[in-house]
């Protein structure tokens, strides 16, 4: 089983409006509500591709009740750690005329020290039986930067690969802890390392201790840089796809976890090809956590280049 | 006790953003969630002014659980009628820089025939002990236009005054049923009667059977027209207030209900003065259902004019 840990999950609410006009009142039929947060999206993608997965998240308040009910509806195995603060919400208003989404994300409330401990304990308890540990998403404001790093260390000790998709000090700490793969986007990488060039930024994370870094570049594809490997591999589709980029990074993380969990040959080109294809397949779907069934065709079209 | 019946309640969610930019992603601390819908706002205002009140609404789904929990938190007596469809949601994004609110309202799902019957039964069961019946807000799409009218007829038979704040065919039906007071705004009155002039529109509703019509004109105050009374009374503050107009009409309805429930002298100027003051006091508050404690001062400043 693949474990995904989401320290700051959200209930994602989406409303579609023919034309959004600021200051106006709009009447719509009904919105959709879905349990979200990056690690939950990763788990959805893996579940959709038939991989055994379990999502570990905090859950709190009335929004937490909705969150858990939605995961149950999706048939996603879930370990919820009760916290006092309500699960945060994310609001997306989709303007149909402009194909443009306006998003308001709540930052999320920080769990107490005891609640952080319970979340760590839940992950550690399930760790021995897992094939890969994924830690995805931001920490709530004030959260301990070393939370995911501690899980990485425990997984390393147990010989379990780790995939971490986070930002800021938590990203640096996960690198220092020796994560198997880090998946920042170009902006997160620049913010965390201070390096403008993504390859230099990735090498900075390797120097800290990470084993590999997959940098997502949006429509320009992805870069993979590995410790002890001088070459830089890049991958992209010959023609970029247009659609909904939300969840594309989560699909890439899911692909990486699927490869690392059940495939020990560690072929970097295969990993890059699958990550790029699943990511592109997510762009074709309206909701984060879904990928288009066309992903095998996309994988066949991915162009991988090796430099250096 | 005053009963308020809300056929299409909502859970009102509000997020405040320093500057809302369409197509952008915004991070905010947390939003607020509140049980809403016009009749619920009326009940909140009355409860806040120490009047015994009970809110009758449908309640459904996960949003219905949140809805009921919020009413309990507010200490509002509530009779909830379970329905299959989730309680609808209303989203407000407040742009702090522009003092402007962008709203998305779900239309709401229509209860089944049996659920409408249960809602009617709940109101009829509580009717004998009440002093005034308020029916407020839109019907969900496909709802029976005669729903509030049926309650008006039952209340008339029992000698209980009724205040109805609705629109379209439901407004006309309530007039035909002989409602004690109808409270459309100028636009609703025009849409329902086809008359551009609010006094002519109000007289149309009186001709159908309503006993009186209070027309809210926004910052221009209110008009009161009564059956068998040739004069038209208008009321306004000498200088209009600026603020949040959401809930101003509900506060006017609350004032009318407070007067009709416990005050049989039916002095039209007193009614108009109180409705205008409570409505203005609602404009001063950020959330619908609250009125400023300055309402007695505002009432003293209201200018009432009698014409015709």
pLDDT tens figures, A81-116: 999 999 999 999 989 898 888 999 999 999 999 999
Measure the N-to-C terminal CA separation of chain A; round to a whole number of Å: 36
pLDDT at A36 > cutoff 70: yes
Nearest to B59 by CA among B6, B105, B104: B6
Name residues whose C-beta falls within 8 Å of residue B221's C-beta, 6 or more positions apart in sequence. B234, B235, B236, B237, B276
Nearest to A39 by CA among A293, A291, A289: A289
Please tell me if residue A195 touches chain B, with a CB cutoff of 8 Å.
no
The pLDDT of residue B30 is: 82
Alpha carbon separation from B299 to B52, B253, B264, B281 (Å, rounded): 22, 15, 20, 9
Please name the residue of chain B whose CA is at the shortest distance from the CA of residue A101: B23
Q: How far apart are CA A212 and CA A161, in angstroms?
A: 11
Q: How far apart are CA B289 and CA B277, in angstroms?
A: 14
Please tell me if residue A199 touches chain B, with a CB cutoff of 8 Å.
no
Please tell me if residue B34 touches chain A, with a CB cutoff of 8 Å.
no
Nearest to A96 by CA among A8, A28, A177, A182: A28
Rama region for A60: left / alpha / beta (φ>0; ψ in -120 to 50; rest): beta
Of chain A, the percentage scoring pLDDT greater than 90 comes to 87
Query: Could B13 and A89 be called an inter-chain contact, meaning their C-beta atoms sit closer than 8 Å?
Result: yes
Please tell me if residue B100 touches chain A, with a CB cutoff of 8 Å.
yes
Q: How far apart are CA B29 and CA A35, in angstroms?
A: 19
Considering only the beta carbons, identify the residue of A28, A91, A103 that sits closest to B106.
A28
What SS3 state is found at A288?
A: coil
Shortest distance between the Cα of A192 and any Cα of chain B, in A, equals 19
CA A175 to chain centre: 16
> Per-residue pLDDT averaged across A9-28, rounded?
93
| ipTM, 2 dp | 0.82
Element (H, E) at B88: strand B88-95
Structure tokens at B172: 């006309």
* Confidence tier at A265 by pLDDT (50, 70, 90): low
The pLDDT of residue A308 is: 82
The pLDDT of residue B265 is: 63
The 10s digit of each residue's pLDDT in A68-89 is 999 999 999 999 999 999 999 9
Q: Where are the alpha helices (DSSP H) in B96-138?
A: 113-126
Please tell me if residue A168 touches chain B, with a CB cutoff of 8 Å.
no
The pLDDT of residue A264 is: 64
Chain A residues touching residue B109 (CB < 8 angstroms):
30
Q: Where are the alpha helices (DSSP H) in B213-294?
A: 248-262, 268-283
| Strand order across the A212-216 sheet | A77-82, A53-59, A2-6, A132-136, A162-165, A181-182, A212-216, A222-226, A232-236, A303-307
Query: Could A102 and B29 be called an inter-chain contact, meaning their C-beta atoms sit closer than 8 Å?
Result: no
CB atoms within 10 A of CB B211: 19
A250 tagged catalytic? yes
The pLDDT of residue B140 is: 93
Considering only the beta carbons, identify the residue of B28, B91, B104 that sits closest to A107.
B28
Please name the residue of chain A whose CA is at the shortest distance from the CA of residue B61: A66
Active site residue: A70, A150, A250, A290, which one?
A250
The pLDDT of residue A233 is: 97
Structure tokens at A231: 């070459």
Q: How far apart are CA B29 and CA A281, in angstroms?
A: 32
- List, run by run, the mean pLDDT of 10-residue segments along chain B (308 residues): 97 93 91 94 97 97 91 95 95 90 93 97 96 96 96 97 97 98 97 97 98 94 96 94 86 97 82 96 90 94 94
Parallel/antiparallel/unpaired status of strands A88-95 and A100-106: antiparallel
Chain A, 108-127: which have a CB under 8 Å from a chain B CB? 109
Of chain A, the percentage scoring pLDDT greater than 70 comes to 99
Chain A, 45-64: which have a CB under 8 Å from a chain B CB? 62
Query: Could A91 and B15 be called an inter-chain contact, meaning their C-beta atoms sit closer than 8 Å?
Result: yes
Chain B residues touching residue A93 (CB < 8 angstroms):
91, 93, 102, 104
The 10s digit of each residue's pLDDT in A144-176 is 999 999 999 999 999 999 999 999 999 999 999
Test mutation, B17, B23, B247, chain A, max A CBs within 10 A: B23
Contact A186, A165 (CB under 8 A): no
Q: How far apart are CA B45 and CA B255, in angstroms?
A: 9
Please name the residue of chain B whose CA is at the shortest distance from the CA of residue A28: B106
Chain A residues touching residue B107 (CB < 8 angstroms):
27-30
Please name the residue of chain A whose CA is at the shortest distance from the CA of residue B64: A62
The pLDDT of residue A59 is: 97
Q: How many CB pairs under 8 A join A and B?
A: 107
Shortest distance between the Cα of A77 and any Cα of chain B, in A, equals 20
| Residue A242 backbone dihedrals phi, psi, to 5 degrees | -110, 150
Across chain A, what does the average pLDDT equal?
Answer: 94
What SS3 state is found at B270?
A: helix
Please tell me if residue A38 touches chain B, with a CB cutoff of 8 Å.
no
CA B274 to chain centre: 15
Chain A residues touching residue B34 (CB < 8 angstroms):
none
The pLDDT of residue A91 is: 94
The pLDDT of residue B264 is: 64
The 10s digit of each residue's pLDDT in A184-205 is 999 999 999 999 999 999 999 9
Name residues whose C-beta falls within 8 Å of residue A216's C-beta, 6 or more positions apart in sequence. A183, A184, A185, A186, A222, A248, A249, A252, A279
DSSP A295: H
């Amino acid at each position: 089983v693949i474990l995904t840990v989401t320290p700051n999950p959200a209930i994602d609410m989406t409303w579609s409006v023919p034309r959004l006009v600021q200051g106006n009142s709009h009447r719509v039929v009904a919105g959709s509500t879905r349990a979200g947060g990056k690690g939950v999206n990763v788990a959805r993608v893996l579940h959709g591709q038939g991989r055994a997965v379990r999502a570990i998240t905090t859950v709190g308040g009335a929004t937490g009740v909705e969150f858990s009910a939605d995961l149950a509806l999706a048939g996603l195995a879930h370990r919820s750690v009760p916290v006092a603060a309500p699960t945060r919400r994310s609001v997306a208003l989709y303007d149909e005329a402009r194909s443009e989404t306006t998003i308001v994300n709540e930052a999320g409330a920080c769990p107490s020290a005891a609640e952080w401990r319970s979340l760590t304990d839940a992950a550690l308890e399930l760790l021995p039986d897992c094939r890969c540990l994924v830690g995805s998403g931001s920490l709530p404001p004030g959260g301990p930067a070393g939370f995911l790093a501690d899980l990485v260390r425990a997984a390393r000790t147990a010989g379990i690969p780790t995939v971490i998709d986070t930002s800021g000090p938590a990203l640096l700490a996960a690198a220092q802890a020796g994560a198997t793969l880090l998946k920042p986007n170009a902006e997160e990488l620049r913010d965390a390392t201070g390096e403008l060039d993504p390859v230099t930024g990735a090498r900075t994370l390797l120097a800290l201790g990470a084993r590999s870094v997959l940098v997502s570049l949006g429509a320009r594809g992805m870069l993979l840089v590995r410790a002890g490997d001088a070459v830089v591999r890049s991958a992209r589709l010959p023609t970029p796809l247009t659609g909904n980029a939300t969840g594309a990074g989560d699909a890439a993380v899911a692909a990486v976890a699927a490869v690392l969990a059940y495939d020990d040959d560690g072929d970097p080109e295969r990993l890059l090809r699958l990550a790029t294809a699943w990511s592109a397949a997510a762009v074709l779907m309206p909701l984060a956590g879904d990928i288009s069934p066309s992903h095998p065709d996309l994988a066949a079209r991915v162009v991988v280049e090796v430099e250096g």
